[in-house]
Structure 1
């Protein structure tokens, strides 16, 4: 669809005000004047003068709640959204009514945004609204990223309880600068904070000085599992160029070195498809699979002995999913990564081309690699029920008030 047609759609559905905002934003992008924060100026909150109301009266314990979840519009298969939507499904299963408030600074087609959610996460029944229309009509709202924390603070002015589901310490996504500072400030907004994993919890304690509730990672072992009769021969890597924390540029160098030493081993890539100059930068043949559904990804894992699962912030979900599928994940060695990936299933590597290539080679050289695949698969964490239970109970505790069965102390 052309930008002209998209603009007409905005004018027809959202009126001249939204049309004008979109036109100005696109013009700024074309002229290089976009400030690059991923956040509109009007949505920037400030912990120094933030005073958000909460309800005077708490609903009775056991009463179903209305829970808002503030999120950016998801792309197909987005891992962070998948984890968030697991929590939404758990809240709905517990009898609560959920609303997704989409923080979309580009004013995308709301019908198309909702269609992605329904197609890729069919278990989510929540109503979908635009956060631009305000965040209201809920007992509690949960921010899911630093940008959405700002949006919740600026657009959620009604009395409600506010929480923050933190999957990563997001200042680390940015160089030291404006975005870093604004991301860091969200942890001072006073929202009740739920950290996914010990690495995030440690960062919040050490960098900000707050004590979050903490829950643990899970893994969908109904999907990620060894497949009978599989022939494991190759290696695999997740491709996200330009997303620094995913380390693709380092993985590319490591795979080039690995290919020089083991040219007979198939190299599989999934995620973004490399084209043009990016494709020409690969000094080796690779099988590009593009974006895969979880079931398709598990089928790919069944062909692989080892895979690169780098992340330079919180541990990637890819590592545990590889383990569940019987693939040895090569992970950059650090204390933070080890905090959330216990056991001996991962290959801990120095995060250099030679270090990663050596770890891939060692996994392929195991004489018992097929048996090892089954052995490590059995160590994977099964399901997300712990995290789902924790998150729902914390939201209920925050809305209803500290109860006899409060999980806050147990989670720390």
Structure 2
């Protein structure tokens, strides 16, 4: 680099720094420094969420026909659930264990096998599913071969590979709660996730959108269950005073549209500074408008917040989350981005849909705050999900297993 090039580079960096300092954007500078440092220290070979040996062993051109043990009258069905070790409060694992508890209560024997590619402490995560998720059955490791079962169930794309490669007996199922290739930038990892839909498993999906998508695009056999709602936790309080809005804010989960939601809330805050804005999901730190930063909170506390709010902003760019149903149960009207998957899965006339740009979302939120008939709207919204229980979802999954296994036996 010659002297003129050095001078040009120095001048460019100086002008950038002066511009940042003139705006007094200390956080912007700090974020830039952190980003630059992270890029330098980030490992070039990031570990895959699935073992290389599992990907290499999975020959999708020759799907295996798995035998299943005999289904004996009066005897329980045995299920092997293969999952990554869960932390407390994981939404996906919460749904899985709700279904497992229902099946246990109706005579199934459930086993859990951890697919632990990062070699996390098995005993610690076993304690989590026993104490937090109330599971009391067998918990094993995928390092050893699974016992035979009537059904072997993958629960995330990385677990589909060891389920495909395992030689234990049992019909293969895939408990699909979202379209996971969308979780990754387009590339090798997203393709590895997509390939799991070509393994010949029978899909059981959370909501109809995924079942339709997997069947149409991959020819998968697929059934679905409708989302339940924990109405014992989320419910409308008749004496609550509503004075705010709530935003489900998850910056690290790109499918929840955090940046879009944040812009919508900024617009709303400028229009209505008298309305309290409640953020939960992750701690936000400083923002350019007034808000209440709840971060991670318990379901009981969340229900209290919902009962203080006219409406809640919950964005879903892939499959919908459980949040809109929980808001509805508390009489808090969910505003979501207008998208085919949200309309198919939610299927509730009290959900408000808005075009996915900031002003449209802010407009819809403001319309709810100024609605003169809000109290009656809130009561009707809560009533609309009153009978939407997880027992209904469990019953549907029970029926899917029994029908699919019976048909497999007949064939």
Residues 315 and 337 of structure 2 are in contact (CA less than 8 Å); yes or no, is this contact kept in structure 1?
yes
CA contact (8 A) 2:69 2:149 kept: no
Matching of residue 252 in structure 1 with residue 258 in structure 2: no
Distance (whole Å) between structure 2 residues aligned to residue 57 and residue 235 of structure 1: 53
Mapped pair 1:140 → 2:145: no
Deviates more, 1:385-394 or 1:57-66: 57-66
Q: Secondary structure at the match of 2:193?
A: helix
- Displacement of 1:249: 1.4
Give the structure 2 partner of residue 290 of structure 1. 295
1:394 aligns with 2:405: no
Structure 2 residue 340 is matched with structure 1 residue 330: no
1:229 and 2:216 aligned: no
Once superposed, what is the RMSD of the aligned Cα atoms?
Answer: 2.2
Q: After superposition, where does 1:350-389 map in structure 2 within 5 Å?
A: 350-380=355-385, 382-389=388-395
Matches within 5 A, 1:188-227: 188-227=198-237
Corresponding position: 1:345 with 2:350: yes
How far apart are residue 92 of structure 1 and its match?
0.8
Segments of 5+ residues of structure 2 without an aligned counterpart are 1-40
Distance 1:212 1:166 in 2: 10
- 1:70–1:143 CA contact under 8 A, matched in 2: yes
Measured after TM superposition, the shift of residue 312 of structure 1 is 0.4
Per mean C-alpha deviation after superposition, the further-off stretch among 52-61 and 354-363 is 52-61
Unaligned 5+ runs, structure 1? 1-29, 405-412
Provide the residue aligned with 2:6 in structure 1. none
Q: 1:58 to 1:95 in 2, by over 3 A?
A: same
Please give the secondary structure, in 2, of the residue aligned with 1:343.
coil
Which residue of the partner structure matches residue 313 of structure 2?
308
1:41 aligns with 2:41: no
- Residue 15 of structure 2 corresponds to none
How far has the Cα of 1:53 moved from its partner?
Answer: 5.2
Residues 232, 370 of structure 1: 8 Å contact kept: no
1:90 aligned to 2:102? Answer: yes
Contact kept? 1:307, 1:329, Cα under 8 Å: yes
State the Cα distance separating 1:206 from its structure 2 match.
2.5
| Change over 3 Å in CA distance of 1:300–1:132 after alignment to 2 | farther
Distance 2:409 2:171 in 1: 16
Distance of aligned partners of 1:132 and 1:237 in 2 relative to their CA distance in 1, 3 Å threshold: farther
Count of aligned residue pairs for this structure pair: 369
SS at match of 2:230: coil
Partner of 2:270, secondary structure, is: helix
Over alpha carbons, which structure has the higher Rg? 2
Q: What is residue 128 of structure 1 aligned with on the other side? A: 139
Larger RCO: 1 or 2 (CA < 8 Å, sep 6+): 1
Alignment of 1:255-266 (within 5 A): 255-266=265-276
Distance 1:293 1:131, change over 3 A: farther
- 1:38-187 residue pairs with structure 2 within 5 A? 38-44=49-55, 46=58, 48-52=60-64, 54-55=66-67, 57-122=69-134, 124-154=135-165, 156-187=166-197
Contact 2:248–2:280 at 8 Å: present in 1 too? yes
Structure-2 separation of matches of 1:99 and 1:212? 23
SS at match of 1:289: strand
Name the TM-score, length of structure 2 as normaliser: 0.84
Measured in 2, the distance between the counterparts of 1:317 and 1:392 equals 21
Equivalent-residue separation in structure 2 for 1:344 and 1:48 (angstroms): 42
- By how many angstroms is 1:292 displaced? 2.1
- What does residue 32 of structure 1 align with? 43
> What's the CA shift for 1:359?
1.1
| Structure 1 equivalent of residue 7 of structure 2 | none
